[in-house]
A = this chain, B = another copy of it.
Amino acid sequence: MDAIALRRGADAPEPIERPRPVPDAGEALVRTLRVGVDGTDHEVLAGTHGTVPDGEDYLVLGHEAVGVVEDPNGTGLEAGTVVAPTVRRPPNGDPNDYFARGAADMAPPGATLECGIDGAHGFMAEYFTAREEFLVELPEALAEYGFLVEPASVTEKAVEHAYASRSAFDWAPESACVLGNGSLGLLTLAMLGGYDRTYCVGRRDRPDPTVEFIESLGATYVDSREIPVDALGEVHEPMDFVYEATGYARHPFEAVEALAPGGVAALLGVPDSWTFEVDGGRIHRELVMNNKALVGSVNSGREHFAAAADRLVNLPTAVLDDLVTDVYGVGEFERAFADDETTIKAAVEFHNQ
Binding site for B on A (CB under 8 A): 101, 103, 105-109, 157, 160-161, 164-170, 247, 249-253, 261-262, 267-298
The reply to whether B273 and A106 form a contact with Cβ atoms under 8 Å apart is: no
The reply to whether B298 and A284 form a contact with Cβ atoms under 8 Å apart is: no
Top 8 nearest A-B pairs (CB, nearest first) are A287-B296, A165-B165, A274-B281, A249-B281, A108-B261, A164-B168, A288-B296, A271-B281
Who on chain B is nearest to A274 by CB? B281
Please name all residues of chain B whose beta carbon is closer than 8 Å to the beta carbon of A287 when the two chains form the complex: 252, 267, 294-296
Identical subunits present: 2
Sample of 15 A–B contacts (CB below 8 Å): A160-B168, A161-B165, A164-B167, A165-B165, A167-B167, A252-B280, A252-B284, A253-B280, A270-B284, A272-B281, A273-B281, A274-B281, A275-B277, A287-B296, A291-B297
Give Cα A298 to B164, complex, Å: 18
Give Cα A293 to B267, complex, Å: 9
Who on chain B is nearest to A159 by CB? B168
The reply to whether B267 and A273 form a contact with Cβ atoms under 8 Å apart is: no
A164-B168, A168-B160, A296-B292 as given contacts; A285 in contact with B261, CB under 8 Å: no
The reply to whether A289 and B108 form a contact with Cβ atoms under 8 Å apart is: yes
Give Cα A287 to B237, complex, Å: 26
